[in-house]
Amino acid sequence: MNQTNSKKVIVIGAGPAGLTTAYKLAQAGVEVDLYEASSHVGGMSRSFELFGQQVDCGPHRFFSNQKLINDLFHELVEEDYTMVNRLTRIYYKKRFFNYPLKIGNVLRNLGLIDITNILFSYVKQRLFPIKNPSNFEDWVTNRFGKKLYNIFFKNYTEKLWGVPCSNISADWAAQRIKGLSLFEAVKSALLGNKGNKHKTLVDQFAYPKGGTGTIYQRAVEKIEAMGGRVHLKQAVRKILTNDKKEAVGVELVTGEQLKSNYVVSTMPLTSMVKGLGQLPEKVSTACEKLYFRNTILVYLEVDSTELFSDNWVYIHDQSVKHGRITNFRNWCPSLYGDKKTSILCLEYWAFQEDEIWKADDKTLTALAIKEVQTTGLVPEGVAILNSHTMRIPKCYPVYEIGYEQHLNEVVSFLKDYKNLIPIGRYGSFKYNNQDHSILMGLLAAQQIIENASPNLWDINTDTVYQEDAKIEDVLNR
C-alpha cells in the first residue's frame, strides 16, 4: 500500500471547503470520512426545494479567475450550468441605483446638487486624506469621499455587521472593495466595464441549473462512488490530540471516538480551539473576543412573475431592516419550471441576543411582507401565497477593530499542532465566498496528498480577489 493510500483523514463539515477537500482526497485514493452535523450538504451554499421550486440560501454566484477552481466546477457540474446576466441595484431613499453606475440614472436619482456635493467631498478628501485609516469608515471615506460613503456604504455595512463602521476593521474594505475608487466607478459609468477589471463590476456569472448546491450534492455522490463516506446528522464535539500535539481523530457528540492521521476542520474556529482542552489564558481570551453574526432568511412566494428584474437588490435604506433581497425568478428558468410565482428571499442579520433573532416565524413573515411593500418591490395588492423562515447561526465572522490581534493569537497557538488543518469561512474566521472556501479545500487536500505546505491562512487576506476574471476564463478552462 502506498503512502497516500495508507492515510486516513476525517473532515468536519459538508460546506464548500470540507466537501472539496473530501472529494479531492477520495479522488487520490485517500481514505476519507466526512462528518456533518446537519441533515444537508453545501453549508450556506446549499440549494433546496421550496413551494415546488429550487432556491438557495440567499444569492450565491460562481465566478473565479483560478483555473483550479473553474476545473473543479466543471468536473462536478459538467455542462449543467448557464451564464446568468447579472443585474443588481442599490435601494436608497425610495430610489434604485444601477450597479455598475450609469450616469443618467445617478443624475436622475440624486440631482445636480447631490452630485456636486459628492464631487466636492471627494476632492476635499483627496486633498486632505485621513492618514493611516484603520477602520472601514475612514478607509472608504478616503477612497470615495464622505458624501458617497454615507449614501452607498454606511447603512448597508452597519446592518450587516451590527456595529458602527468606525468599529469595523479596514481589512473588510481592503478585501471587498480592492482597487475600486470614485474615479474608476465614474470611468466605468462613462466607458462601460471593459475587461471586467473589478470584481464588483462583473456582469455575468456561472450558475448550476439545479441551484448552487448542485456542486456539493454531486461532490457527495462522487465521494461515495470513490469509496469515501459522508455522514450526515453526526456532529463532532471535539478534535482528539496526543502528547505531541498531533491531531489523531475526533470525538462525536455521542461520545464515540474515531481515529485518523489528519483532521480537516471547517467548524467555527473558536469552538474548535476551545475543544482542544486547557488553553493558555491569552488564547482563551482571544477566542472570547472573536465572534460571529447570524443570518435570518425569510422566503416569500409571491403571486406574480413580473416583480423586479434584479437577481438581488442591496437595501441601503434605514426605513427597513433587511439588507438584501433575492429574486430567484431572475436566475435560471430551471429553478421555477412551469410555476407562475416568484420566490423572494429577504436577509436579516442579528446577534444571538437581538430581539429579531428571538422573534417567531409569524412575526418575521409579517415584517418581511411589510418591508417588500414599503420598498415597492412587491406592489400592494399582489398576494403573498406562502412563507418560510430559516435561521443560520454564526455565519459571518465579525471584523471588528482588534480582531486581527485576537486571530493571530489563535493562529500562532494552532501552528504548534500537526495534522490539523482549519479551513473555510467558519474554520479560518474569514469572510470567504464559496470560491475562497473551494480554494482552501483544494490546497488542504494537496497538503495531505503531496505533503505540501501552502499557508492556508493567507487565502482571502490580500488584495487579489478571486472573482475578477473575464467570462472566457470560466468557459475556456
pLDDT digits (tens, 9 = 90+) for 414-439: 999 999 999 999 999 998 889 889 99
Cα angle 175, 181, 183 (rounded to 5 degrees) comes to 165
> Is residue 59 over pLDDT 50?
yes
Asked, for residue 274, whether it belongs to a domain, the answer is yes
Same domain, residue pair 183 and 114:
yes
Asked, for residue 217, whether it belongs to a domain, the answer is yes
Same domain, residue pair 391 and 416:
no
What's the average model confidence in pLDDT over 128-143? 92
pLDDT single digits (tens) 271-322: 999 999 889 999 999 999 999 999 999 999 999 999 999 999 999 988 999 9
- With 0-12 / 13-18 / 19 or more C-beta atoms within 10 angstroms meaning exposed / middle / buried, residue 300 is buried
Q: Are 273 and 427 in contact (CB under 8 A)?
A: no
Same domain, residue pair 314 and 383:
yes
Domain residues for the domain of 66 are: 8-82+210-285+401-460
Write down the pLDDT at residue 464.
Answer: 46
Q: How far is 375 from 386, CA to CA, in rounded Å?
A: 20
pLDDT single digits (tens) 157-178: 999 999 999 999 988 877 766 5
CATH of the domain at 30: 3.50.50.60
Asked, for residue 88, whether it belongs to a domain, the answer is no
What's the average model confidence in pLDDT over 353-369? 98
Between the alpha carbon of residue 400 and those of residues 136, 274, 323, 443, the distances in Å are 10, 21, 19, 28
Global pTM? 0.90
Domain count, the chain: 3
Same domain, residue pair 245 and 164:
no
Same domain, residue pair 281 and 411:
yes
Asked, for residue 166, whether it belongs to a domain, the answer is yes
Same domain, residue pair 393 and 331:
yes
Write down the pLDDT at residue 414.
Answer: 94
What's the average model confidence in pLDDT over 428-453? 90
Asked, for residue 204, whether it belongs to a domain, the answer is no
Amino acid (one-letter) located at 217: Q
Mean pLDDT of the chain: 89
Same domain, residue pair 72 and 215:
yes
Same domain, residue pair 256 and 306:
no
Asked, for residue 477, whether it belongs to a domain, the answer is no
Q: How far is 179 from 199, CA to CA, in rounded Å?
A: 10
CATH of the domain at 382: 3.90.660.20
Same domain, residue pair 244 and 316:
no
Asked, for residue 470, whether it belongs to a domain, the answer is no
> Is residue 467 over pLDDT 60?
no
At 253, give phi and psi (nearest 5°). Answer: -65, -20
Helices 103-127 and 136-144 sit at what angle, rounded to 10 degrees?
110
Q: What residue ranges in 303-371 does DSSP mark as E strands?
A: 312-315, 324-327, 342-350
Same domain, residue pair 416 and 455:
yes
Asked, for residue 93, whether it belongs to a domain, the answer is no
Same domain, residue pair 268 and 299:
no
Write down the pLDDT at residue 386.
Answer: 98
What's the average model confidence in pLDDT over 102-118? 82
Closest by Cα among 266, 219, 202, 217 to 61 = 202
Closest by Cα among 357, 211, 249, 369 to 302 = 369
pLDDT single digits (tens) 183-213: 666 656 555 555 445 444 357 888 999 999 9
Same domain, residue pair 336 and 357:
yes
